[in-house]
Structure 1
């Protein structure tokens, strides 16, 4: 006899068997399964809005009436093939009103499949600043699950916050608000954010021009402090918003402060002293004694504004030292210089500082050229870190700078204005030894002596921010030629400032614009004359031999240079012939500018009609069949285009610009571009058969510079004026 205890959930199986015998036998079975209740919703599957279920201190805070969400499951046994086993959600919320009376709302959702999510968007009149509790259960139409709060479950709670936090208060001891002026670019300052609201959990801040960030409080309603290093001088504005735990934000508050320029170097030696001098004068800091292996009066890096440099002979007498410590290596510092190595096959030190006596064999820091398994590299070593990058080249000027940041505990290296290598963790190590230029102390004396030129050595007691590094490494390009192509004398078009003229060949014709006193619309006898590309004239080339050229090289292709030109190509008709040409060669490449030697071009800028692209071609040497590097950009729909080529020898990059823009694939790495000996060519290039690739089109405004123009300067080319080389 079954008891009540046995009459719980029982699964009854009825088996009917029928046998039919006809030489063979078989059996058929049928089963019937009783419905099982849905599973109890799991607390981990519940969400208040998008916040997890929590109670007490872990309850959710929301800014608006939330959407309650739950995942519901029906037992797998109920999910028969071909049948839909759905479940509904039954939500219940409770709270107490101002009189302490419990209020309750319920909602039954539509049906979803097992494992589906049900949700209830609460009404807009849910009370604010009141603890609301909720739970949910599943209903399959025949049975219901336990509530999510039953047994080992738990209720969910939330509070709707209908008030934004108060405006935050911003303060900074280093950069107080509206005080003229505060120190300074490259120097960290603390900025503290606080709010009168006691439920603030985070602040979002934005410094004009960057950075942008969010910082969380460590305690509810507590203040936070961030560290910031100004990147530029002048008036700066910081905006801060406070966020409470409900996600509501305050209005932004603006904090204005004024930043001085960065502190001057603690030591600076331009090394532009008179030949024969035994001392290097200091712009700041103590003068530096020069060893007898130092010769003043060497050529300075061009485009830097420096007048001369010092040459160190690499011997034991080739050094300079002020005889005292200049850098406090226990704090943030930076050291940089212009250098031109005479060799790269051994370790050579640019600048170092002697370590204290108990740290034998290693300088406190060193900025150097070092050899390695992969070749020479620039290196900054300090506090157990060694950052390496960039490749020293004998006879090439380079700006190198290393710095240590106590805030981040890292060492960085910059080569020619760009950060290189990977910043590394370093440990600040105090030192009181003397600064050394051109050598580093080892176990048995000084070693790693510099052979080559050095100029403008500087040390700082602050960070040198990226913008400053870029300017320190900047070499202002020098004009080498500007041909406006508006006049001709003795078969040549003069350079604007009495430089080398462009000599015109047959097939190269200077075109003048219309006579302003003869207007065809007013006088039918006046001829219709096209306007020049720029200014009062341009150069027409016939594509059959017409070109213009200088007698000597205009730019040193082995160093940094920039050339620019304005060009118009004729239209192509349906037979592939160019406008006014009729030569059937509409698919052949046509060179606009080139400069090379007897056998090839160091570079050539050409148009390839078959692919509708401008190409910049660089050859590896002045030899027939030399390997070529090609970058290109698509020709735009504009009839007139402004082209430029920029070779930056400091970064070993050459770039093609079309209408002031460089495409991502229009830059190539070119190591040691060879120095051309031939003149600048307008409208032709060297080919396997001699001169060829003649241009059929119109050119104007040819520019040439020694040095690499910045990307921001390129759009100014080709408008009849000079770019501002600031």
Structure 2
């Protein structure tokens, strides 16, 4: 049912609450898959009662749709003759050419139901130029960029009694809250929304009249491509002693078509050769914002024989027109750079024109610049300004694909003016280059000072048989000071350690436009005893201070995104996890790796800060200015003060985006890598040890009379007598001060009268964790499983206990998992794949019992891993009496889905991280 929806009725509604539909429209089946990847078709049918005595029977059965690839969407138009004000039920099933699936209404599912009701307001229309409606019947239904980029959606109604529109936005698996937009007489209203995830996005809209009657829900489906890639990524994986640190952009791919081939001789390395008949390279995203200042440049070589028609080297499409084009036209002279006045097929074009013929047979550097502040279009050839034209129209944003080697003039892939010749080193800048900067590019010198690096460069270094070419943002060279130690242990490979006094990684230029939307992401590890002062992760300097700074602030503010507006006003979006009197409280999450993201959202007029994937603070923010100073890590530069607010700690995997990073993307960026640190299956023993099936090969040594006997997973298990039997490793294979997971199957041999321990990690004075069973003297075989975690390895340290009593009998096989998430300071205890929450008698109070706890601190155990007992200093107790099977250790916190998978896997389970990360 979750895959079914109606064009004019919204998501599939059950018979208990049918949709109200005024217009027939189409029914949809989304993401129809076949397990074998075969092509699939869909069959729809509908039931209603016409009063002919046959009752509610099938009245519409149009047969199978055409076959499409597995994962496609399908649609069918409902028939005429639907019963007025009558109930209609419908369902669907798929067919792979050999077998049918069950009908979508197969229990416990139900048929979708709607009432064909003409007394409600008509369903409103929805239109968007950036995100046109999807057409599932079109095999070439295009994707539109993209995640993190806002679009305008306009609602309108033909009913003059409509006073508001109610909408909700579903991006991927996230369905947003309902919002109302007031109107009068059904007049159009526009909202700005940003897609959160790639794929089919849905906007559900109703019209509401003055009496409160609501229309059927319009389901507006549009396809969203991946967002523009990162402007720069500093993985900080350089070796110790390295002075230069590189920030590299993520790949921008473009597909080659027709007679376009890479591998030709270029002005630098290889070039793209274009035959002038059908070939070009096409991106899936627009590269530059044509409503603002921007620049495009490249090296071009025309055939020695010349060209006979207009050839476009670079263009970017709108819905109907080409937003701009950099072209050569022998009929009117040489090179020209044109900017369209609007997104209309017959739009006027402002064109800067070369007044002499273009050179042939030689490499020529050509650049087009739009200076929005001066309302001017400029053309440069070989570093010299050869043409200029004023424009006095309002610019617009062409959001279609960018082409190298043809003119694109619409979303429907209308292409013409194919370029004949060779192209190399195509560069795009998101601002207007100066005459000196263009001259530098013509001398093959990249922009490294005085402006931001190129948003993307295509160098065409692929081989002649390549089908796609890949560009990247210009590499940003940054220098690490003496106070920075590279090669330190990081969250993703090595990291950079900053000394808190002089350490800084500084680029020679700004990287992001702080006046527009942008995001910065980083993994940071600050000391648990951090000094109560500002420490900077990343910043970019403005004329009167930092244009932005992502910091850890003093006084309990915690992680903070700072922005500076015109006039020097500083706005802060802060996490604020602690009171000012105790800024290093447990909730601050210090002493471990933390993922932090700062976002400036120009459309929403706000700053946001995310911590470990969750929104932690926000603040309204307008009037942002473009900062022209250089980008820094680990400190900020201020005029007159030099570098200040140095960070003490480690930084890893820094990412900059030229757009909003969405909540879904932030959650994905915050996912921590998990790895199998040990798995003991207890299938065999040799010379008193049982092997570790993980790559670490850390065997368990059997102590006492511990033996291998009949088990639960696969065949055998570890059998312990509850007196002195146990097993242990030489060293514990996980860092228990960081995120870790321990999971094990256990069966008690008898009814316990005292507590027994399954697994522990001893230190000098405490066990860093204990996974144990505490019996209930009032209920034979029952009690509760417990995870015990002390904050430090010191006598008298406070312990956190997390309990779960959701099981039948300790003498049965039970699966026990402790998952500790260090950045969130959360411990979760699962029994048989489930967490537990017990309700209170008073529904207004917090849960009376639950198997997770927040604010948990742990320490790193330095001893062994102990199985079947606990203790420190040679004093052991709580020996387990019974069997233990399939013991897993992970470095990293498993989530609910992964734990459930582990608890339901019994035979031949591979030793790898469970799916669902």
Shorter-normalised TM range:
0.5 to 0.7
Question: Which residue in the other structure is 2:593 paired with?
Answer: 397
Cα-to-partner distance string for 1:97-156 (whole Å, 9 max, x where unaligned): xxxxxxxxxxxxxxxxxxxxxxxxxxxxxxxxxxxxxxxxxxxxxxxxxxxxxxxxxxxx
The answer on 1:646 being equivalent to 2:842 is: no
Compared with structure 1, are the counterparts of its residues 688 and 453 closer, same or farther at alpha carbon in structure 2 (3 Å cutoff)? closer
1:663 paired residue among 831, 836, 856: 836
Question: Which residue in the other structure is 1:590 paired with?
Answer: 756
The answer on 1:407 being equivalent to 2:372 is: no
Q: Trace 1:232-251 onto structure 2 (pairs within 5 A).
A: 232-251=197-216
Question: Which residue in the other structure is 1:438 paired with?
Answer: 634
Question: Which residue in the other structure is 1:263 paired with?
Answer: 228
1:189 paired residue among 124, 143, 151: 151
Q: Trace 1:17-56 onto structure 2 (pairs within 5 A).
A: none
Cα distance in 1 between the residues matched to 2:694 and 2:654: 35
Q: Secondary structure at the match of 2:175?
A: coil
The answer on 1:501 being equivalent to 2:466 is: no
The answer on 1:540 being equivalent to 2:719 is: yes
The answer on 1:381 being equivalent to 2:562 is: yes
2:546 paired residue among 346, 357, 363: 363
The alignment yields a C-alpha RMSD, in angstroms, of 2.8
Question: Which residue in the other structure is 2:845 paired with?
Answer: none
Question: Which residue in the other structure is 2:887 paired with?
Answer: 702
Question: Which residue in the other structure is 2:482 paired with?
Answer: 293
Compared with structure 1, are the counterparts of its residues 444 and 296 closer, same or farther at alpha carbon in structure 2 (3 Å cutoff)? closer
Cα distance in 1 between the residues matched to 2:754 and 2:636: 59
Q: Does the Cα contact within 8 Å between 1:596 and 1:602 map onto a contact in 2?
A: yes
The answer on 1:426 being equivalent to 2:611 is: no
For residue 604 of structure 1, report the CA deviation from its aligned partner.
Answer: 0.5
Cα distance in 2 between the residues matched to 1:255 and 1:541: 62
For residue 187 of structure 1, report the CA deviation from its aligned partner.
Answer: 1.7
Question: Which residue in the other structure is 1:557 paired with?
Answer: 736
Q: Secondary structure at the match of 2:664?
A: helix
Question: Which residue in the other structure is 1:525 paired with?
Answer: none
Cα distance in 2 between the residues matched to 1:601 and 1:716: 28
The answer on 1:600 being equivalent to 2:766 is: yes
Q: For structure 1, which runs of at least 5 residues remain unmatched after alignment?
A: 1-62, 64-160, 513-531, 572-577, 579-585
For residue 416 of structure 1, report the CA deviation from its aligned partner.
Answer: 2.4
Cα distance in 2 between the residues matched to 1:295 and 1:261: 35
For residue 482 of structure 1, report the CA deviation from its aligned partner.
Answer: 0.6
Cα distance in 2 between the residues matched to 1:700 and 1:712: 21
Question: Which residue in the other structure is 1:18 paired with?
Answer: none
For residue 538 of structure 1, report the CA deviation from its aligned partner.
Answer: 1.5
Q: Does the Cα contact within 8 Å between 1:300 and 1:455 map onto a contact in 2?
A: no
Cα distance in 2 between the residues matched to 1:382 and 1:216: 30
Larger displacement relative to structure 2 (453-462 or 341-350):
341-350
Compared with structure 1, are the counterparts of its residues 258 and 486 closer, same or farther at alpha carbon in structure 2 (3 Å cutoff)? same
Q: For structure 2, which runs of at least 5 residues remain unmatched after alignment?
A: 1-20, 22-116, 135-140, 250-473, 565-569, 578-583, 778-782, 838-849
Q: Does the Cα contact within 8 Å between 1:279 and 1:287 map onto a contact in 2?
A: no
For residue 354 of structure 1, report the CA deviation from its aligned partner.
Answer: 1.0
Q: Does the Cα contact within 8 Å between 2:791 and 2:856 map onto a contact in 1?
A: no
Compared with structure 1, are the counterparts of its residues 214 and 351 closer, same or farther at alpha carbon in structure 2 (3 Å cutoff)? closer
Cα distance in 1 between the residues matched to 2:240 and 2:674: 27
Q: Secondary structure at the match of 1:713?
A: helix
Question: Which residue in the other structure is 2:800 paired with?
Answer: 629
Cα distance in 2 between the residues matched to 1:610 and 1:647: 26
Q: Does the Cα contact within 8 Å between 1:380 and 1:386 map onto a contact in 2?
A: yes
Q: Secondary structure at the match of 2:651?
A: strand
Cα distance in 2 between the residues matched to 1:354 and 1:724: 43
Question: Which residue in the other structure is 1:203 paired with?
Answer: 165
TM-score by length of 2: 0.54
Cα distance in 2 between the residues matched to 1:278 and 1:625: 46
The answer on 1:164 being equivalent to 2:360 is: no
Cα distance in 1 between the residues matched to 2:223 and 2:678: 43
Cα distance in 1 between the residues matched to 2:859 and 2:241: 35
Q: Secondary structure at the match of 2:542?
A: coil
For residue 193 of structure 1, report the CA deviation from its aligned partner.
Answer: 1.7
For residue 510 of structure 1, report the CA deviation from its aligned partner.
Answer: 1.4
Q: Secondary structure at the match of 1:470?
A: helix
1:568 paired residue among 729, 733, 747: 747
Question: Which residue in the other structure is 2:613 paired with?
Answer: 417
Cα-to-partner distance string for 1:172-224 (whole Å, 9 max, x where unaligned): 12111125221211222221222222222333334343114142432022223
Higher strand share: 2
For residue 483 of structure 1, report the CA deviation from its aligned partner.
Answer: 0.8
The answer on 1:175 being equivalent to 2:131 is: yes
Cα distance in 2 between the residues matched to 1:207 and 1:485: 51
How many residues align structurally? Answer: 524
Larger displacement relative to structure 2 (388-397 or 251-260):
388-397
Compared with structure 1, are the counterparts of its residues 415 and 246 closer, same or farther at alpha carbon in structure 2 (3 Å cutoff)? closer
Cα distance in 1 between the residues matched to 2:180 and 2:591: 49
For residue 430 of structure 1, report the CA deviation from its aligned partner.
Answer: 0.6
Compared with structure 1, are the counterparts of its residues 215 and 693 closer, same or farther at alpha carbon in structure 2 (3 Å cutoff)? same
Cα distance in 2 between the residues matched to 1:681 and 1:710: 24
1:325 paired residue among 506, 510, 519: 510
Cα distance in 1 between the residues matched to 2:118 and 2:142: 40
